[in-house]
A and B are shown apart, each in its own frame.
Chain A
Amino acid sequence: MKKINVNINGIDVVVPEGTTILNAAKKVHIDIPTLCYHPDQKIKGSCRVCIVEVEGQSTFSAACCTPVRNGMRIKTNTKKVREARKTILELILADHNCDCLTCIRNGNCELQILCEEHNIDTISFDKVVKLLPINDKNPAIVRDESKCIKCGRCVEVCNEVQGIGAIYNINRSCEMKIGTAYDKELKNVKCTYCGQCINVCPVGAIYEKSNIDEVWQALEDDNKHVVVQMAPAVRVSLGEKFGMQPGSIVTGKIVSFLRKIGFDKVFDTNFTADLTIIEEGNELLHRINNNGKLPMITSCSPGWIRFIEYFYPELLDHLSTCKSPQQMFGALAKTYYAEKFNINPENIVVVSIMPCTAKKAEALREEMSDSGYQDIDVVLTTRELARLIKQSRIRIEELKEEDFDSPFGITTGAAAIFGATGGVMEAALRTVYEEVTGEELKNIDFKNLRGINGFKEGTVKVGEIDVKVAVVNGLKNARMILEMIKQGKADYHFIEVMCCPGGCIGGGGQPRGTNDIKKKRIEAIYKVDIQSAIRKSHDNPVIKTLYKEFLTKPLGYKSHKLLHTHYKDRSDI
């Protein structure tokens, strides 16, 4: 590739043709501020915060979208540049609700940081921001238009990564805003509550609905028996919110914390992930042996469930009828657990800590009360857990690691990998193989199904049959595989679909992170697996006890009542 010589702030640098000014500057450790730019997204070039001076040019160039030319001489931090950037920021602030102290992003807002760095001490322009009511009439996502800076990141993720298009740019000029058709509430449009928009928003314009207060309230209520479950992806990402390296595993510290603030029992969603594998594995075998609907598709990702209900209701019978691990947990907590420990289920409060915003909506589905009560009472995201920790003033870094409580605390490595794309499939194959062949699976690492790629496939010989599987993550890829099914081009037996790019570790309730950070989380997930004493779901002794004492058998009567569900055609919305 052709090399280009440029000079930035007096420093010569050689870069390949096509490199942007921004990246060329990075190479020589020159930091140019950005706002609409996001490393995992297309370049937008719209906020203009990254403007720089180019010698011989009467106008500025935006560093994010301007490729360098040979001999270009660039200045990134002149008085002229600084003043223009300041004016741009002030223009943004004039149309921004600057109530930083009461903003959810106080302290981690990209705009706030830029303002600090640019010494913004006043806004020269009239305030033009419209303080409209906050949109929060849905279970999961809050939108505050007064904070929106129109960077377009959420629109890109919703339309191009997830392929949904619940939101788009509406109107033009200064009336331009990000919104739904006819300004409808999110619950009245085809929004899956995946929360990917939240993860890319640089400011506090879109965020999860907080349920923290409900948790504190339950914990202070002596009449309540409050139990908590934590999903596999939470433990490999929470540390980032406390200055730890991405990929730090903080399971024991979180357990310790949750116990400290008064949860009666601290359980692991991984337990019901193991249970999901048993039920789903058996469902798959049942379908294969009885000419059932194939390919069967996983059902543990609630954003994905909403997606197929909205856009492909005609394919709903491909979905496994298994509830998600979160919901299996809730159903068991208020039945099996309540009976076993003689607790009135009416007094049990089940809290989930999930990497996911869609889980908040899932918990409220009317089907999810098979225990006779709403199975899951409160869902917190990983980010909310971080806020809960800060609010408690307990220093999580200093806590000793503790173990989960029994019975739902003994789990396997197979369950741990649910948190990464390909994990459910890998866990299922470990079990299905041994179930069918009766032989021990020697190499249990299905490495070709791992990693952040949007689409992966493989074939595994299980006894007589070559089981053909596919793994997709991100809803645009999900759409692709559903189209393949519709056209009869998907001759798979089993497909794993995760709503969020990278799987749950990239969930809409996770600390904001780029693809590089997601990769670190995935590595950590597999480290948890490797370090587990048991790595196959069907080897989990407590699962065996559960079937013996309560469920009797996979796909049995009680399983059907508590652990399986049905779906709805929501295409009409």
Chain B
Amino acid sequence: MVSFVSSLCGKISPLSLKEYKDNGGFDGLQKAIFHMKPHEVVKVIEDSNLKGRGGAAFPTGLKWKFISMENSDEKYIICNADEGEPGTFKDKILLDGCPLQIIEGMIIAAYATKANKGYIYIRGEYPKTREILLKAVEILRDEGYLGDNILGQEFSFDIDIRSGAGAYVCGEETALIESIEGNPGRSRFKPPYPPSEGLWRKPTLVNNVETLANVPLILSFGADEFKKYGTEGSRGTKLISVSGNVVNRGVFEIELGTTLKEIIYDICGGTLKDKKLKFIQLGGSSGACIPQSLLDIRLDFDELRKYSIGLGSGAILVVDESTCIIDFIKNTMEFFKHESCGKCTPCREGNRHIIKILDRIQGGEGSERDIELLKNISLLMKEASLCGLGQAAPTAIFTTLKYFGDEYKEHLKGYCRCGICDMKGREECK
């Protein structure tokens, strides 16, 4: 475990500007606006090799560069605080623990990209966090960190807080933008990407909370200090949210490059009641289900890519042997069925047919053909859906078919090793 991006969480009073500043807060911003040109700030972020912490791991500096190159007198910074990926609660720790750090990150981003307006899109499920953010923005406005002529400079930037209202898809940046505009959160097709056409069709930077929280630190300590953490291709630290059948649940900051095994056994104390670990799901419900045999994998973007696995939001759900694979997948797909926006055919229609097939399998009426259909729909969703939601929804199906194919086959033969599925030819599972 390390303490970098979350170092002030729990250490200072979240809304105390004084405590924040006493602990180095706003050093990064001061350095940027008093001593650096906007393009130099972008350069530092590029040099740090910081990658987006929301799930897609896109190089942050490059994204900033795209927006800074856009010629528009209206640009927006959006902090994506719509942490909806099941099993992910690390942004909440940052938002509740050190909101000023995230806002500082936004102000620096605005300075670097010449944006004048920002939004924090906070998920509706976090009403108390929203209150904290509202207060934080007010404090910073009063103290001249937000508003016109920030710290007496020719630089103006202000932030509005917008609340989600229960839609996982709004974590997808274009759906999020639609939601800020007051619409249902239905993803737009890309391109155009938000850096060229985002909020109100203007250049828009959408960064995750954790990404933005890293920014002030990179600015104040320098890219090199940041790069001391992590591996060659994966710099910095990562907040991981651990949940499930494990002794210590919670948010932990680790260096990128740490293995899953270290996290689960050394940091989190292993499985509860020493039950056998079945798999871990990495990155939330849209992530891969990784069996015990692969726990030596390092949380490193390049290494994960070799296994076609994404780090995603950094959620780790530990699942022990008492959970039935089929039942778990059905629960996962019910989540996606509930959360699909309904716009594109593969995702709107695919999820419900997958559930119907899983129902058949759980009821003891599944056949080889059902497995084929399952693969077909999943592949179509992955390859033809309009946005990341539909594309990633079947990830757990692919990985469990790959690593737990036997358990699917057992179900076809009318046997559930966990005793969860009722194989009496009934539609519903116990």
Contact = CB atoms under 8 A, between A and B. Distances in A.
Direct contact of A and B (CB under 8 A): yes
Interface of A: 43, 45-49, 51, 58-60, 62, 65-67, 84, 87-88, 91-92, 94-95, 124-126, 128, 150, 169, 171-176
Contacts of B383: 51, 58-60, 84
A58 B189 CA distance: 17
B343 interface: yes
Given A59-B383, A87-B376, A176 B342 contact: yes
B267 interface: no
Contact of A48 (B337, B341, B346, B382): B346
B342 A172 contact: yes
Contacts of A95: 349
Interface string B191-230: 1000000000000000000000000000000000000000
Interface stretch (B106-114, B237-245, B309-317, B384-392): B384-392
A67 B349 CA distance: 26
Nearest to B376: A87
Given A87-B377, A92-B345, 11 more contacts: A45-B189, A66-B189, A88-B345, A88-B346, A91-B346, A91-B380, A94-B349, A126-B356, A169-B184, A169-B186, A173-B337
A173 B341 contact: yes
Contact of A92 (B349, B351, B352, B385): B349
Nearest to B359: A126
B182 to A, nearest CB: 13
Interface of B: 167, 184, 186, 189, 191, 337-346, 348-353, 356, 373, 376-377, 380, 382-386, 391
Contacts of B343: 46, 176
Contacts of A62: 189, 384, 386
Given A92-B345, A174-B337, A174-B349, A48 B356 contact: no
B344 A47 contact: yes
Contacts of B382: 59
Nearest to A59: B383
B286 to A, nearest CB: 15
Contacts of B373: 124-125
Contact of B386 (A45, A67, A87): A45
B143 to A, nearest CB: 41
A151 to B, nearest CB: 10
A173 B350 CA distance: 10
B386 A173 contact: no
A225 B31 CA distance: 91
A124 B356 CA distance: 12
Given A47-B344, A172-B184, A174-B352, A59 B384 contact: yes
Contacts of A84: 380, 383-384
A46 B184 contact: no
Given A51-B384, A172-B167, A91 B353 contact: yes
Contacts of A171: 342
Nearest to B360: A126
B71 to A, nearest CB: 17
Nearest to A169: B184
A408 to B, nearest CB: 51
B308 to A, nearest CB: 10
Contacts of B339: 172-173
A51 B191 CA distance: 15
Contacts of B377: 87, 91
**Which of A47, A91, A92, A150 has the most chain B CB within a 10 Å cutoff?**
A91
